[in-house]
Amino acid sequence: MKILHITCSPRGEQSVSYRLSQRVMDRLLTQHPAAQIVTRDLCAEPLPHIDGEYAAALGGGARDGARTGNGRAASSLALSERLIAELRDADYVVIATPMHNFTVPSVLKAWLDHVVRIGVTFNVTPEGKVGTLADRPVYIAVSSGGYRSGERARQPDFLEPYLRALLPTIGLKNLSFLSVQATAAGPEMTTAAFAAVEWELDDCVAGA
Ligand SMILES: Cc1cc2nc3c(=O)[nH]c(=O)nc-3n(C[C@H](O)[C@H](O)[C@H](O)COP(=O)(O)O)c2cc1C
């Protein structure tokens, strides 16, 4: 039993999204005390952006650098292979992410560019893109300075719709979003938002 815990805030353990994701982790670990946790802190250890070799290997039809005999492409793809293996091996995925400029932080986008890979985690078919990963629960803990949903939202949200479109492309359809919004309104609002999300946490992590 493995849980992949991905964190994307530059604020480390102070981070609201991290603290929200810890509530998911606590519940999962209560249910699976022997679970192995694999942590990827994308701010503490940022991934490189994909490079020209990677793009060329994917775009040129040579979708597995190791098989092309092209050493540079193979090494560009090696990190992607590792990250995909980490994702494939996880029984649960927990992603902690703040909203940055209406969408995911760039560190999370970099991770996605490494794991959403043609010919490996999805295939193009006449019906569209079809994922190759087995589905599993994915919990996404999102924090935002303002409201990003509901009547009080005064900004577009490209974060949740983006992940709801992209993750199923690689086979991950069992998505649960948990939110703490309006953190910019101060610590009292944040505490209230944490309290309000408790029942949702119980509900979506129950029996996981
Ligand atoms: C670069 C940057 C961009 C941000 N953009 C937005 C935004 O578009 N909308 C929003 O509601 N909050 C935005 N925020 C505020 C964060 O989403 C908010 O402070 C959040 O609670 C931080 O979560 P964390 O503690 O997990 O890092 C932004 C913060 C930063 C640092």
Compute the distance between CA of residue 122 and CA of residue 28 in angstroms, rounded to an integer: 28
Q: Tens-of-pLDDT digits for all 208 residues of the chain? A: 999 999 999 999 999 999 999 999 999 999 999 999 999 999 999 999 999 888 888 886 545 544 455 666 677 799 999 999 999 999 999 999 999 999 999 999 999 999 999 999 999 999 999 999 999 999 999 999 999 999 999 999 999 999 999 999 999 999 999 999 999 999 999 999 999 999 999 999 987 7
Q: What is the pTM of this model?
A: 0.94
Which among 21, 43, 95, 99 is the best mutation to test ligand 1's pocket, defined by most ligand atoms within 8 Å of the CB? 99
Q: Which domain holds residue 68?
A: 2-205
Q: Name the token pair of 153.
A: 């939202």
As for how many domains the chain has, the answer is 1
The minimum-distance atom of ligand 1 relative to the CA of 15 is 25
The CATH number of whichever domain residue 69 belongs to comes to 3.40.50.360
Strand-strand pairing, 128-131 and 122-125: antiparallel
